[in-house]
Structure 1
């Protein structure tokens, strides 16, 4: 028996034209403003280095924090292999303070994508000794909690120094999510008491030849996370899938949405790449149909929070239609009632 949907979010890559990047960033800011007006509880941005998507999510979310007042702002996810945990802690805390405590940081570990091609530019002197393990998350959490980052504090001349990251943002460490793709990483996140962001890509960990079942694989990771969590009743668990309602879509939009999902469907038939990753099928259709599909999904049955992933390459008007249908039709069909404070943004 699925629980009523308690929190509703969306995720965007923030695509832009490299010849006119400001327009794309501005369009994404308007989408977040729209999400707040529609009552969404959270808006997340992806992290895309050396691509035509948001490469600096915290800089972007600092701007979004000044154009919204209620909606939570998150990252899904920041790959820590690109980051110095101390410096990232400063940026996270600054944005959290600017937003009034609305930041929901999502992180992951592992070597940066295209590692062999970027290692010389990213870590020219230390590439062979960089630690891309869970320890990088642990370092970040220590800094966010206010543990010492320096052996010196006090006044030196006219300058005053702190031993911990400034500004300090109380409670921010408790809002960190982990983007897990395997049972192992989901278990680790649970033991740390982090939130779990489960996306539309998970690792296939069944025996060779075992039928592919994305929902079952995702649910196995969620169950492992909850079993490892010190307080599973209070654990934060979110599901993210590509879900595209078509209730108010035009005939052309429906055609393009269905074509998009059909073109991506073959990759869901079997594990992909050396890591044997499973991709979830995109869900496209009327809200009533989508609600039935989600209620029958083993992963969805374990959560009361979703972060719907917007397709990467659609037009601004498409995102407006999709978000509006999600907030006004699909989410209410799943039991979502919207935020308690649903006044207009300041």
Structure 2
């Protein structure tokens, strides 16, 4: 069994060729797609977070709205850039959204991806401490966030408060029990996957990672997952971890699918991201039988318990629901995922 959800980048563009021409379109259609995905039997609705871009940004209003409109589906991010976050305020937002959804939040956090502006986190009022990098700052914000999610008191109460306080030090409210165990770290390298395991975070591994061996992407990603699980075991955590991988997968069911995605073979790509040699995983597109045979050879998908399908959100809710339904109906059962 494998959980299957979608991951939307939430793009919008005023172009006449886009089905999401405004930020309002992107937000409202994201809610509608989550509702449709739940009706189709999908397990998760996940959203990217990018600042200074025509994409989804502040995630918690959207997550809360999706939580109020759905009943079963997991709701998450992939990922929130912690360089931009006040971890205490974020814990309050996350607690509220999780309570609205009935405890279905699955928050993916990380250092973030390449930015639209230079050092955009400075505009949000953050800067690394002396001798530290912005990545160090993001990881530090994550550690503070994880600590306050435990729900333990840490703040000295006012002896003359406006409202009566419970005894002892005060914690942030609202607190959502169990959310601490539903935080994921988006890792682009083996070392940060091991670090995430030590801190007791689930693992999100995307469609790119540092090219650390020159091997095919799915082979490197599978090794990353195994290193993560080994580190988790060594850390002695009581619960079992979860691991997700993201893929672009399209079953070609009709002429429209073939026009959009039937352009021939895809392959891994090598590029530079933030001075890092990165490997980008291939997309999959084909007739269902062909698709199934190709997916069986993907070692990382086999290692993961959760698969996030990246969706072309600008093609509209109805078409993206069709994309999800094709995978859930024609591919997942043959792969043993359902």
* TM-score for both structures, normalised by structure 1: 0.85
Q: 1:98 to 1:154 in 2, by over 3 A?
A: farther
Alpha-carbon distance between aligned partners in 2 of 1:110 and 1:73, rounded to the nearest angstrom = 19
Gaps of 5+ in 1: 338-346
Per-residue Cα deviation, 1:4-57 (whole angstroms, up to 9, x for no partner) = x33111111122346632223222211110100011111101112111111111
Query: In the alignment, what sits opposite 2:82?
Result: 80
Query: In the alignment, what sits opposite 1:253?
Result: 257
Tell me the SS of whatever aligns to 1:306.
strand
- The answer (yes or no) to whether the contact 2:4–2:43 under 8 Å persists in 1 is yes
The equivalent position to 1:15 in structure 2, one of 11, 24, 38, is 11
Q: 1:203 to 1:169 in 2, by over 3 A?
A: same
Tell me the SS of whatever aligns to 1:299.
helix
Q: 1:118 to 1:28 in 2, by over 3 A?
A: same
Aligned length: 321
CA deviation after TM superposition for structure 1 residue 309, in Å? 1.4
Q: 1:128 to 1:195 in 2, by over 3 A?
A: closer
Q: Structure 1 residue 164 and structure 2 residue 166: aligned? A: no
Give the superposed CA RMSD. 2.4
- The answer (yes or no) to whether the contact 1:146–1:165 under 8 Å persists in 2 is yes
Matches within 5 A, 1:27-176: 27-109=29-111, 113-114=115-116, 116=118, 118-123=120-125, 127-129=127-129, 132-152=137-157, 156-158=161-163, 160=165, 163-176=170-183
Q: Structure 1 residue 272 and structure 2 residue 272: aligned? A: yes
Alpha-carbon distance between aligned partners in 1 of 2:138 and 2:96, rounded to the nearest angstrom = 25
More divergent stretch after superposition (275-284 vs 228-237): 228-237
* TM-score for both structures, normalised by structure 2: 0.87
Query: In the alignment, what sits opposite 2:190?
Result: 183
Per-residue Cα deviation, 1:131-174 (whole angstroms, up to 9, x for no partner) = 52422211101111113342226651346487111011010001
Per-residue Cα deviation, 1:111-131 (whole angstroms, up to 9, x for no partner) = 9725635355222xx525375
Q: 1:314 to 1:279 in 2, by over 3 A?
A: farther
Q: Structure 1 residue 282 and structure 2 residue 283: aligned? A: yes
Query: In the alignment, what sits opposite 1:322?
Result: 323
Query: In the alignment, what sits opposite 2:222?
Result: 219
Alpha-carbon distance between aligned partners in 2 of 1:119 and 1:37, rounded to the nearest angstrom = 38
Tell me the SS of whatever aligns to 2:276.
coil
